[in-house]
Amino acid sequence: MRTRNARTLVAAQEGLKFTKYPTWIGDKLLFLDVHDACIKSADLSGTVEMVQSLPYLPGGFGVLANGDFFVCDAWRRIIFRWKSACQTQLANLNDIARICLGDGIIDSHGGMYVCDIGFNYLDPLVDPAPAGTIIHISATGQSTIVARDLFFPGGMIVNESASTLVVAETLRHRLTAFDIKSHGRLENRRVWAQLGDDINPNGICVDREEAIWVAGTGSFALRVKEGGKIVQKVRSERPVFSATLGGPEQRHLFMCTSVSRDPVITRRTPSATIDVIEVEVPGIDC
């Protein structure tokens, strides 16, 4: 396994609180600063700009081909569509989502998949349970549960042919795959990669060889092949929570890092950074 070190693109001195859901659009990296309740951007020089302040704690985030945003209100379990700084409600998921909306990803038809974590992970008195779901929201706002019994579903990828969705099951230490069918349905559930008990996969992204970069709670990102073989490791100085491929040729691996994910700590003492490294295999064009 090859091991390399990332460099810091956006330093902790910029005051980022806790960043997730990075997405490369045009010539910039867009991401949620979750604990600062806003969308921000960074370019390859490390310059950070505010894109949109949000009136709620955001969960999943996706960018449509026309530049509109899908953003989840995590705890109220509502999906909003943002266009030119104006938001409209796309879907209210209170009838089918139990607790908190997490990661999301845009599908090939202008809809979105979003995860419901399934239990209150912030409450130390609540036992973790494999009650997570994936919900599909169509472009017109119709919502359907398409996968159940996931153990803390985290990041998702859709492969280049839009035929397969893979989700990180953080507390099962695995990546789980589904075939994508008509109307966003998911079938043929299977283990894509079973990882070690010390690896808690969270944010993930896919490259052109259909290997998946996995970020978890360790100070690294791992490039994993189907079946679970780890072929590359990129180290950071802090825990890595999300990763994506972008840049002019899709060869920059961006990693969202933070010393803590506790909102009290991150707001009081911000430590989040965005790290970057150039890799050999590019990402896919979304």
Of 225, 260, 257, 194, the closest CA to residue 9 belongs to 257
Return the percentage of the chain with pLDDT > 70, whole number.
100
Averaged over 64-80, what is the pLDDT? 93
pLDDT in tens, 124-153: 788 888 999 999 999 999 999 999 999 999
Q: Which CATH number does the domain 2-278 belong to among 3.60.110.10, 2.120.10.30, 2.40.110.10, 1.10.1040.10?
A: 2.120.10.30
Q: What is the sign of the dihedral through the CA atoms of 171, 172, 173 and 177?
A: negative
φ, ψ for residue 41 (rounded to 5)? -135, 160
Q: Which of 1-5, 234-238, 244-248 has the lowest mean pLDDT?
A: 1-5
Taking CA atoms, 7 is separated from 10, 255, 282, in Å, by 9, 10, 18
In Å, the largest CA–CA distance within the chain is 47
The pTM assigned to this predicted structure is: 0.96
C-beta separation of 204 from 215 below 8 A: yes
Residue linked to tokens 């008990």: 197
pLDDT in tens, 82-121: 998 899 999 999 999 988 999 999 999 999 999 999 987 7
Residue 71 above 80 pLDDT?
yes
pLDDT in tens, 1-51: 889 999 999 999 999 999 999 999 999 999 999 999 999 999 999 999 999
Give the per-residue pLDDT at 85.
87
Q: Which of the four pLDDT bands, split at 50, 70 and 90, describes residue 58?
A: very high
HSE-CB at 112 with a 13 A cutoff on CA atoms is 31
Averaged over 72-79, what is the pLDDT? 96
Strand partners, 116: 101, 133
Sheet architecture: strand order including 48-53: 19-25, 28-33, 38-42, 48-53
CB under 8 A, 24+ apart: contacts of 209-216: 209/281, 210/159, 210/160, 211/281, 212/157, 212/166, 212/175, 213/243, 213/245, 213/253, 214/168, 214/175, 214/243, 215/155, 215/240, 215/241, 215/242, 215/243, 215/255, 215/256, 216/170, 216/240, 216/241
Structure tokens at 171: 């507390």
Residue 283 above 90 pLDDT?
yes
Residue 217 above 90 pLDDT?
no
Give the per-residue pLDDT at 286.
63
φ, ψ for residue 269 (rounded to 5)? -135, 80
